[in-house]
Amino acid sequence: MNRRNKLIDLEALAQRSHRVITSNQTPSGAYPASPAFSAYRGYCWFRDGAFIAEGVSRYGDAASAGAFHTWCARVLSDRTGHVDGLIARAERGEHVPAAELLPTRYTFDGGLGSDPWWDFQLDGYGTWLWAVSEHLRRHGEAPGTDDAYIQKGTATAVRYLNAFWDRPCYDWWEEHDEHRHLSTLGSIHAGLRAATSNPALMDALSDAERAAAAEALDGIGSLTAEGVADGHLTKWIGTTDVDASLLACVEPFGLVSRTSATAEATVRAVEDQLCVNGGVHRYAADTFYGGGQWPLLTAFLGWNHAVAGRREAALECLRWVAEQATDDGELPEQVDHHLLAPDYRQEWIDRWGTVATPLLWSHGMYLVLATELGVAGNGSAGAAS
């Protein structure tokens, strides 16, 4: 296949990705994580959704991303009283059990649902603040975005993170709630920075909330220094292992300066230890569905290559992701060409069915990387719909 045809294929998958995402977006604005997958059906995650919205917003569909951000802001606004109650208890010195803190996923009408989950995760709220800030910078108050809700939701998220940012919690992979994870800290740091520096959001905050956010940012900065080993960021504080989610601590979150030695060493360590034949694993001890390679993480690697000026390497990542699409142009959560723990694969299939496909976060990350590389975007959303 010549280069031109390959580029057309890459663009077609961007159009398809946009369609997969928007055709599954609910009337309420939520993005389902994976519409048909047994364990995710009926739920929207702040983490997945924020990155999906970033891809859709970059692709030029301001209305879809705006509707998602408004949905998140409403979910949070509806819980402002609950959050303020939690904060008051914490300020009185009471231990607030994790089960009473905000969940990681919601039903499409903003409810909690009745399925048990590994719920206490803080990263999604930081990632949402970062993503809504990026969206407003890019598109302003475009159709679909309800400013009153965005302001209230922003203030609620900031107060929540200011109060609880230093609690150990489950990570991006909903594991190890006994640890403090660098990618979680990176998400919170990016969110609080965005909310306190973007003029479209910062007016939602009182002086006291801005001051508390500054303190939290300092605290995260100090903790980050403890999460470095062999020159790179670590999966959690106290280990030397890496995790591919650390890529986000460089681009887009900038927890460490993108040009620092720590950033370079982190991207290199993830690539050296977790990238096999072009596809990125989550972490070395992963057993979920046998521990395959994740398209969305390969897109994060590509994003990091692209912003560091390694365009060819970034394009390789985009091509690898595109090659994982099914004949229908759907991207899965993970693929099984290279498994770290093959013996565990069947056990997950028996439990939850075959790998989640399509996973909307995979499509969202494809859009992020495709637009970063100029393979898609600049108004493509209109043409694609």
Q: Which residues have a catalytic role annotated?
A: 171, 174, 333
> Residue 39 pairs with which residues in a beta bridge?
none
Say if residues 188 and 135 touch (Cβ distance below 8 Å): no
**DSSP labels for 280-336?**
EBS-TT--GGGT-B-HHHHHHHHHHHHHTT-HHHHHHHHHHHHHT--TTS---S-B-
| CB nearer ligand BGC, residue 52 or residue 192 | 52
Nearer to ligand BGC, 110 or 358 (CB): 358
Identify the CA nearest to 13 among candidates 55, 66, 67: 55
CA atoms within 13 A on the CB side of 346: 1
Q: Which is nearer to ligand BGC, 146 or 243 (CB)?
A: 243
Smaller CB separation from ligand BGC, 108 or 361: 361
Smallest distance, Å, CB 44 to ligand BGC?
9
Query: Interface with ligand BGC by CB under 6 A: which residues?
Result: 33, 40, 45, 47-48, 172-174, 359, 361
What's the gap between Cα 297 and its chain centre? 10
CB of 298 to ligand BGC, least distance (A): 15
Give backbone dihedrals phi and psi of 384, rounded to 5 degrees, phi first: -80, -25
CB burial of residue 100 (10 Å; 0-12, 13-18, 19+): exposed
To the nearest whole angstrom, how small is the minimum distance from the Cβ of residue 243 to ligand BGC? 11
Least separation in angstroms between CB 242 and ligand BGC:
17
Of the pair 19, 118, the CB lying nearest ligand BGC is at: 118
For the CA atoms of the chain, what is the radius of gyration?
Answer: 19
The bridge status of strand 105-107 relative to strand 228-229 is unpaired
Q: Is residue 134 within 8 Å of 54, Cβ to Cβ?
A: yes
Residue that is written with structure tokens 């280069």 in the block: 3
Q: How many whole angstroms separate alpha carbon 222 and alpha carbon 212?
A: 15
Shortest distance (Å) from residue 58 CB to ligand BGC: 20
Using Cβ positions, the residue closest to ligand BGC within the complex turns out to be 33
